[in-house]
């Protein structure tokens, strides 16, 4: 089972947001203080980051942790 328990959706969101901002994996890694391999494993859904790292990634990608790791179905239902 993948670390993020969401079938890789968080990894896809991270990758899409990173690419939309024209940020390379290496640059994202440098900005958040981890290795490029860590970014790769997050994007593949094989690594669940600490809260601190998740916050750093979200901040660097100019979004929120909820937008990257949240469950869009549950979030939509809860706001109704």
- pLDDT of amino acid 8: 79
34 belongs to a structural domain:
yes
For residue 69, the enclosing domain spans 9-78
- pLDDT of amino acid 70: 87
Residue numbers of the chain with a pLDDT score lower than 70: 1-7, 72-80
All residues at 6 or more sequence positions from 50 whose CB lies less than 8 Å from its CB, including other chains: none
Q: Which helix (DSSP H) or strand (DSSP E) does residue 23 occupy?
A: none
- Spell out the long-range contacts of 25-28 with Cβ–Cβ below 8 A and sequence spacing 24 or more: 28/57, 28/60, 28/61
Nearest to 7 by CA among 56, 63, 72, 58: 72
35 belongs to a structural domain:
yes
Specify the number of domains making up the chain.
1
55 belongs to a structural domain:
yes
- pLDDT of amino acid 74: 56
- pLDDT of amino acid 77: 52
pTM: 0.79
Supply the CATH number for residue 50's domain: 1.10.260.40
Which tokens belong to 24? 């390379």
4 belongs to a structural domain:
no
pLDDT, tens digit, 9 for 90 and up, residues 44-59: 999 989 999 999 999 9
1 belongs to a structural domain:
no
- pLDDT of amino acid 2: 43
């Amino acid at each position: 089972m993948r670390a993020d328990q969401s079938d890789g959706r968080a990894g896809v969101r991270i990758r899409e947001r990173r690419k939309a901002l024209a940020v390379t994996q290496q640059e994202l890694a440098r900005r958040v203080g981890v290795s490029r391999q860590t970014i790769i494993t997050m994007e593949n859904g094989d690594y669940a980051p600490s809260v601190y790292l998740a916050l750093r990634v979200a901040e660097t990608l100019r979004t929120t942790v909820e937008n990257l790791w949240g469950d869009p179905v549950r979030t939509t239902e809860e706001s109704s």
